[in-house]
Chains A and B, each alone.
Chain A
Amino acid sequence: MTGRHPMPTLSPRERIQSFSEVATGYDEATAIAEAQRCLHCKNRPCVNGCPVNVDIPSFVSLAAEGNFNEAYRVIRETSSLPAVCGRVCPQERQCEMRCTRGVKGEPVAIGRLERFVADNCKESAGPVKAAPNGKRVAVVGSGPAGLACAGDLVKLGYEVVVFEALHVAGGVLVYGIPEFRLPKEIVRRETENLRSLGVKFELDCIVGKTMTADDLFREGFDAVFLGTGAGLPRFMGIPGENAKGVFSANEYLTRVNLMKAYEADSETPVYRGRHVAVVGGGNVAMDAARCAVRLGSETVTVVYRRSREELPARREEVEHAEEEGILFRFLTNPVEVLTESGTAVGLRCVEMTLEEPDASGRRRPVVKEGSEFDLDADVVIMALGTSPNPLVRTAAEGLRTGPHGEVFADETGRTNLPRVYAGGDSVTGSATVIMAMGAGKRAARSIDEDLRAERK
């Protein structure tokens, strides 16, 4: 039995000098060989591990035959963004975790194959569009949830307009996830594809400010989907947090990714520190740390209050971060940002230990007495998670939202208001691309059902 084929990558030295994509992708022969490792299990455990149940064995066997166009079509039946998901899904906790091949050896590299198929299919595999049905849907937010919802509706014959607050479409895919992990060209291709199917994008429009959902109904829209994401950054509430040099990961990443602060002649500044400390352990923390390395910082340290095993980031990103020279301080929690005349100079931390697992199986970190120590840091980046975007609360009169501003919507995407639907991070809080995409698709189905029922 052979192991799985490794992903070719740029060398760490090459990587940290540029924002080029780190994983360069399989070649055709490798992709076919990897696909041939699949055992075509009858019970299809991998499919159950996928949040949107992509028909993995079918697409993998088509890939094994070299029929990448058909393989792509199979993925597209359930996923709207294969080139994106192949790159950013936490496969090791989804499909690949359940893969039979993984029981004794290494699982089939499902994510890498998905990416290969998406990058190498020759046809623009947008399924045929139905005849226009005269109904109009407004999609608010152009992240994975909004894009998926828009894509499915336009194919069903709806007229779809996507309203986006920022000056570029793509949501977190453009402002959060860096170029070296997800080239912006891929996101642009996805949005172009939707445009060619007839989806209109209105950028620089904030629903709740520029107009409300009620205005949109007045303008003749029959339904509104809220895919506004979870962008509101959390802070720790420790002393010194508002000093110069302390940023939310969102600010740091937006300056770098959306505003391209890394390009030599960029007009948008980003603060480049010598010693950067990133607080948190998720994908966002890894992305911020890896951007800092590429911006020329001497040391970059990830400070995380639990241990390596609990790191929520994708495994591959943690490995890449370590290869790039990023230091990890596990079981460490900041208690104060040290400042000199209002500017960050260090991070005071305490060491933590993990208690025995509680009823839920989580091990709570507790402070170790007398363990205080200081780290040098002229830039501190807080990557502690985010809450739903605050402006969505004013988007529609009477919309029910929770204590953290999350929109109340059920599994089908229906909210408490007729004709108003929601899905993705705006409903769940920060989750994953695939979950948001799945929610967008489910909401599209509900919108179609409800508007059809009305027509009868």
Chain B
Amino acid sequence: MVRVISNRALNPTVYRMEIESPRIAERAEAGQFVILRADERSERIPLTVAECHRERGTFDVIYQVVGASTMSLAEKKEGDCLSDAVGPLGNPTDLAGMRNVIVVGGGVGCAIALPVACALSEKGARVTSVIGFRSRDLIILQEDFERCSARLFLVTDDGSAGEKGNVCLPLSSLLESGEKFDAVITIGPLVMMKFVAQTTKPYGIKTIASMNPIMLDGTGMCGCCRVTVGGVMKFACVDGPDFDAHLIDFDEAILRSRTYTAFEAEARERHCNLFRKEAKS
């Protein structure tokens, strides 16, 4: 059992939760994740560590409510307990030799991109952040990005804030400008990462994507997190989650990510009904 220190909404569907676990807080580095279980019967949910508060022995995760299990997380209040938290899992993002970097985040993926951008700027690298959202009311962490980035580009699909369009727009002009970048690090929806990889490819810039496939144990035991990278099967939980974006088979990853879509919708429905019933009685 681990204690929830706080849990608040960042936008209508994205929450930030602070969790007490001195062991995880002490060790987690940018790019690593944890697996949480809200209650005794909940699913195991992999979530990236957004920030560590070592002095308090706590860490933050930022998550989007998608299925019944993330709904159970969202219902937790300050002082409540989660059934389980295990981590840190996966390998930290390899930041060696990176001095001038573009970080591209999309939607809730920005929560994963932020610690990487922060770690880079703490190491003295020059960070250019490109963050994209569907529309204005879904924007999260803008100020946090402003703080750790030398430059920040904000785009929205509908143009309700920042430039209208997707993240590849500012990315292309940055690459076009002739400035030398050591790497592009991208985290967000699979489709977005696929296009980021396509955009950077002609420039031969090292591009790293952080994969978040379906996971179960997070220790290399089930293989449901497998992704094909350069024609070789990799397990994202132990070999990743970061891989060379130019080698990832994104189309396969997109198909695999939909394995449980129908089930999730049904479980969400059921959970809502249950919730409504409880609220009534």
Contacts and interface: CB of A to CB of B under 8 A. Distances in A.
Are both chains from one complex?
A: yes
Nearest to B227: A242
Interface stretch (B55-63, B183-191, B200-208, B215-223): B215-223
A390 B217 contact: no
Contacts of B263: 269
Interface in A329-359: 341-343
Contacts of B86: 165, 167, 204-206, 210
B84 to A, nearest CB: 5
B255 A259 contact: no
A211 interface: yes
Interface in B80-120: 83-89
B68 interface: yes
Contacts of A341: 255
A210 B87 contact: yes
Interface string B220-239: 11111010100001010010
A243 B228 CA distance: 11
B220 A389 contact: yes
B238 A391 contact: yes
B84 A250 contact: no
Contact residues on A (Cβ < 8 Å of other chain), bracket:
35 or more
Interface in A175-232: 175, 203-206, 209-211, 231-232
Contacts of B27: 209-211
Q: Is the interface of A mostly helix, strand, loop or mixed?
A: loop
B84 A389 contact: no
A206 B89 contact: yes
A267 interface: yes
Contact of A267 (B69, B84, B255, B259): B69
B23 interface: yes
What's the dominant secondary structure at chain B's contact region?
Answer: mixed
B43 A165 contact: no
B129 to A, nearest CB: 29
Interface residues of B, number: 43
A234 to B, nearest CB: 9
Contacts of B222: 233, 248, 250-251, 254
Given A232-B220, A389-B220, A389-B221, A242 B256 contact: yes
Contacts of A250: 221-223
B24 A271 contact: no
Nearest to B86: A204
Pick the most buried of A165, A243, A269: most chain B CB atoms within 10 A of its CB: A269
Contact of B220 (A203, A231, A247): A231
A166 B255 CA distance: 28
A247 B224 contact: yes
Contacts of A204: 84-86
A390 B238 contact: yes
B87 A251 contact: no
Contacts of B223: 233, 235, 247-248, 250-251
A167 B84 contact: yes
Interface string B63-76: 00001110010000
A266 interface: yes
B264 interface: yes
B258 A244 contact: yes
Contacts of B260: 269, 271
Contact of A242 (B44, B216, B219, B233): B233
Nearest to B260: A269
Closest 10 CB pairs of A and B: A342-B255, A231-B221, A269-B263, A204-B86, A251-B222, A248-B223, A390-B220, A251-B224, A167-B84, A233-B223
Interface of A: 165-167, 175, 203-206, 209-211, 231-233, 235, 237, 241-245, 247-248, 250-251, 254-255, 259-260, 265-269, 271, 341-343, 389-391
